[in-house]
């Protein structure tokens, strides 16, 4: 049987994804020794990210070619806006960050660049590009969560909860559904579409890696 | 206290809304004597409409200026895609229409014209226009449901269920929330924005009335 | 050599296109006996149409996959907004319609339905659907112009000028370029894309025919 | 008379715009001693930028509230896609960069971040935000061109031509037209709109400054 399109994408992005797994931020989560300041920074910026990721799911729902796909994205949107963001708010509360502070957090340069890329692609690209652009975030977090869950459980309860959330089989199932969607859209697609999908997948992969780097060095806008 | 913007819109559209209340289709629902064929036609076309109305909520979520508005539209989208459309599928099943038949129903001219107007406005207009365009459907159905609920309960259980659904206080609360949003967007808006909002509200109102007419004469595309 | 995709589209739409050629409005132009009132109505509504058709070219430019395509649509947009609309303004002036009157003309139901379909498809569909949706207008007018030019020249100078404009080889070249674009986008495209493209082409073809009908009966919104 | 909205925007952005005028890249152009490598880098990246800036004008045309605004953006789009990009191709040719090389140039991180921000805002924001986002590029280049033209003419003919292009009164007129449009959209706009417009203007201003910095250090993606 021939390789799925998502396998090919994953292989092309291998050096970037490998660098994600090896990133000191990710390893710090797994080893339970990531410092609180960097983790707090990540929580704030990921909250900003999720607001925009919701817009991505919303545009995906709006542009879905059929009702089952539309419904799935509608559920993903609501789950993100309601469930996942609530978890972030709780996590933030545990770190002493008020909801108002969280809402008022300005996006750092990498968060803005990544989310502008995602929303722009979702609004003006073809539906297949939109799906290829949103895949690396879901798939990557699931892969990282599952990988870290193989190691010893982090002593830090917050970091342990982080691993649990992204190692969750339900989350893996969501990522699998997205992969399947990309595979279906890539099957029999003409070369120009495949190229555009690969470009979107690679750009998002690069931004996923850059997001860890941003959190690690607690990036700020130049004064 | 000055009048809310939505009161002004409602007043401008009064002749059209009055014609809705007086429409033989609407009166037939209330009196419980609407023939089954016309009702069945309406169920099929309203199902087509709802798929596109979901896209409208999705675009509203994608373009919401803040997280609470985004979240509310995300919930509306899911409630429509999952709950309301399931009710339509049940209603259709009760009328002997299979799910496959329902999904395969082609849009009649008025359904297509109305939904293309809505999605086009949602995709390329300002957010305030999007909200003004989506209001007449929610508000109108709530008003009609509440009005019909004042009369005797239709003997036909299907029509009685129809009245119950749209007379529901939760549905009225949704319509109120949409009105409040339009009021906030219209408050202190410059004349050009108010004009664009009024034009969108009037166009949707006209299409709401035309939708009853379409169902009454069971409109089809010319051969 | 295998058939081009646009040949297949044209063949599927044959009954609709044939009905266009046979339409009393089109025949009236060719025979030079179309009454002035209907022609005037058409000029007004086609002006409304062109404003929206410009938006279609603009969205096509914005979403073009490469610079040559973007540039071509940029030129088409400017040619339509500046040159073709000036010709309509002159034509209108010759009919005693002031520019202010022309700008203030409200869209009739068919013009609104067609242009909302076009802009909605251009804003939320894939680029291939956008191109398939815009083709029937350009190709159809070119085909009708060339067909009418084979007959005797209409005595009415306005109708003769109309035939000249759409029989122009430059206009045919534009239509050919659009066909070529659709052929390239359809080549090797997966079934779902081809279906979406065909659906868009058929819907626009139906609206092209309906546009002649609208002008013939001088359609107005119901009171 | 009260201050125009664009004056207020300009004042808020003053530290950023001042930093642009003082930037070694800009001063190097004015003093005629900018090294060829950095200038070549800028030509390549600005060419990438212009392709996306065309998409911005196209979306502006598609979403213009009236025909004169639509037509103006159509002309700007064509002038950029045809005239300005030809000048860049000539400039590149003079530097020994082939057209194929120019077309194949990958966007550096800052070019990608800025253009994704612009296209995203143009596609999903309100029309007023779109206009506020596109203003800093046109106005800023005009201001810098006029400022440099006050000094001695750079000996380097390429840099002299650069100054001439952006000090051109026609270019200043375009920037003025954009300012006037932003002023009209900001007049009587509600606070939320003014805030969104200011945020867009500030973000673009920051990216304009970052663009000089990118060219100065010849930014590349991390390996």
pLDDT digits (tens, 9 = 90+) for B22-34: 999 999 999 999 9
Residue D84 is given by DSSP the state I
Q: Which chains touch C (3 or more CB pairs under 8 A)?
A: A, B, D
pLDDT digits (tens, 9 = 90+) for A32-50: 999 999 999 999 999 999 9
pLDDT digits (tens, 9 = 90+) for C114-138: 999 999 999 999 999 999 999 999 9
Query: Which among C120, C206, C222 is the nearest to B123, CB-wise?
Result: C120
Q: Which two tokens stand for residue B77?
A: 């989208």
Residues B38-44, mean pLDDT to the nearest whole number: 97
pLDDT at D2: 72
Check: CB of residue B130 under 8 Å from CB of residue B56: yes
Instruction: Tell the burial category of A169 from Cβ atoms under 10 Å away from its Cβ (0-12, 13-18, 19+).
Output: exposed
How would you write B14-83 as a 3-class SS string? Answer: HHHHHHHHCCHHHHHHHHCCCCHHHHHHHHHHHHHHHHHHHHHHHHHHHCCCCHHHHHHHHHHHHHHHHH
Q: How confident is the model at residue B82 (pLDDT cuts 50, 70, 90)?
A: confident
pLDDT at C223: 72
Q: Cα B49–B54–B58 angle (5° rounding)? A: 150
pLDDT digits (tens, 9 = 90+) for C44-94: 999 999 999 999 999 999 999 999 999 999 999 998 998 889 889 999 999
Residues C101-122, mean pLDDT to the nearest whole number: 96
Q: What Å distances lie between residue D151 and A56, C106, D140, D154, D164, CA to CA?
A: 48, 54, 17, 9, 12
Instruction: Tell the burial category of B156 from Cβ atoms under 10 Å away from its Cβ (0-12, 13-18, 19+).
Output: middle
Q: Does A83 score more than 90 pLDDT? A: no
Q: Does C2 score more than 80 pLDDT? A: no
- Residue D3 phi, psi (nearest 5): -60, 145
pLDDT at D3: 86
| C196 near D CB under 8 A | no
The CA distance from C219 to C105, in Å, is: 13
- Residue D131 phi, psi (nearest 5): -65, -40
Q: How confident is the model at residue D155 (pLDDT cuts 50, 70, 90)?
A: very high
pLDDT at C35: 95
| A15 near C CB under 8 A | no
- CB < 8 Å to A124, chain D: 55, 119, 123
pLDDT at C188: 85
Q: Most B CBs within 10 Å: which of A58, A76, A105, as the mutation test of the B interface?
A: A58
pLDDT more than 70, % of chain D:
100
Q: Which chains touch A (3 or more CB pairs under 8 A)?
A: B, C, D
pLDDT at C117: 98
Q: Most C CBs within 10 Å: which of D62, D86, D105, D127, as the mutation test of the C interface?
A: D62
Q: Does D176 score more than 80 pLDDT? A: yes
Q: Are C61 and D67 a contacting pair at CB < 8 A? A: no
Q: Are A61 and B55 a contacting pair at CB < 8 A? A: yes
Q: Which two tokens stand for residue D60?
A: 């502006």
pLDDT at C3: 86
The CA distance from C8 to C13, in Å, is: 9
pLDDT digits (tens, 9 = 90+) for A110-126: 999 999 999 999 999 99
Query: Which among D62, D119, D123 is the nearest to C58, CB-wise?
Result: D62
Average pLDDT of every residue of chain A: 95
Q: Which of B133, C134, D123 has the alpha carbon at shortest distance from A122? A: D123
pLDDT at D39: 97
Q: Are B190 and D189 a contacting pair at CB < 8 A? A: yes
Query: Which domains are present in chain B?
Result: 5-217 (1.20.910.10)
Q: Does B131 score more than 60 pLDDT? A: yes
Check: CB of residue B154 under 8 Å from CB of residue B160: yes
pLDDT digits (tens, 9 = 90+) for D21-44: 999 999 999 999 999 999 999 999
Q: Which of A142, A137, A156 has the alpha carbon at shortest distance from A30? A: A156
Burial code of D172-196, b = ≥16 C-beta within 10 A, e = fewer?
bebbeebbebbbbbbeebbebbbeb
ipTM of the complex: 0.96
Q: How confident is the model at residue A223 (pLDDT cuts 50, 70, 90)?
A: confident
Q: What Å distances lie between residue C126 and A74, C120, C121, C180, CA to CA?
A: 20, 11, 8, 17
Q: Which two tokens stand for residue A126?
A: 């073809």
DSSP states along B139-163: HHHHHHHHHHHHSPPPSSHHHHHHH
pLDDT at B197: 98
Count of residues in chain D: 223
| D60 near B CB under 8 A | no
Catalytic residue numbers of D read 137, 208
CA distance B189 to chain D (A): 5
| A58 near B CB under 8 A | yes
pLDDT digits (tens, 9 = 90+) for C133-176: 999 999 999 999 999 999 999 999 999 999 999 999 999 999 99
Query: What distance lies between CA D182 and its chain's CA centroid?
Result: 16
pLDDT at A124: 98
Residues A4-18, mean pLDDT to the nearest whole number: 97
| A77 near B CB under 8 A | yes
| C211 near D CB under 8 A | no
pLDDT digits (tens, 9 = 90+) for B93-123: 999 999 999 999 999 999 999 999 999 999 9
Count of residues in chain A: 223
Q: Does B3 score more than 70 pLDDT? A: yes
Q: Are C58 and D58 a contacting pair at CB < 8 A? A: yes
Residue B187 is given by DSSP the state T
A vs B: CB pairs below 8 A: 79
CA distance A123 to chain C (A): 8
Range with the poorest average pLDDT among A202-206, B4-8, D88-92? D88-92
Q: How confident is the model at residue B222 (pLDDT cuts 50, 70, 90)?
A: confident
Q: What pTM was estimated for this model as a whole? A: 0.97
| D117 near A CB under 8 A | yes
> Taken in order B122, C44, D70, D9, is the CA torsion positive or negative?
negative
Q: Which two tokens stand for residue C49?
A: 């149409």
């Amino acid at each position: 049987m021939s390789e799925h399109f998502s396998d090919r994408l994953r292989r092309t992005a291998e050096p970037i994804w490998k660098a994600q797994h090896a990133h000191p931020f990710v390893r710090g989560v797994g080893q339970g020794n990531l410092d609180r300041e960097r983790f707090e920074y990540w929580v704030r910026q990921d909250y900003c990210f999720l607001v925009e990721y919701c817009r991505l799911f919303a545009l995906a729902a709006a542009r879905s070619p059929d009702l089952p796909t539309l419904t799935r994205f509608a559920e993903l949107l609501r789950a993100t806006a309601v469930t996942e963001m609530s978890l972030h708010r709780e996590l933030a509360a545990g770190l002493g960050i008020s909801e108002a502070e969280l809402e008022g957090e300005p996006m750092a340069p990498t968060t803005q660049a990544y989310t502008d890329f995602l929303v722009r692609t979702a609004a003006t690209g073809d539906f297949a590009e939109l799906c290829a652009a949103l895949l690396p975030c879901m798939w990557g977090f699931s892969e990282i969560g599952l990988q870290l869950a193989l190691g010893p459980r982090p002593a830090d309860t917050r970091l342990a909860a982080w691993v649990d959330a992204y190692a969750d089989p339900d989350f893996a199932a969501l990522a699998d559904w997205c992969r399947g969607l990309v595979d279906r859209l890539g099957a029999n697609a003409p070369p120009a579409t495949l190229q555009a999908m690969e470009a979107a997948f690679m750009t998002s992969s690069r931004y996923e890696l850059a997001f860890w780097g941003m959190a690690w060095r607690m990036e700020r806008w130049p004064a």
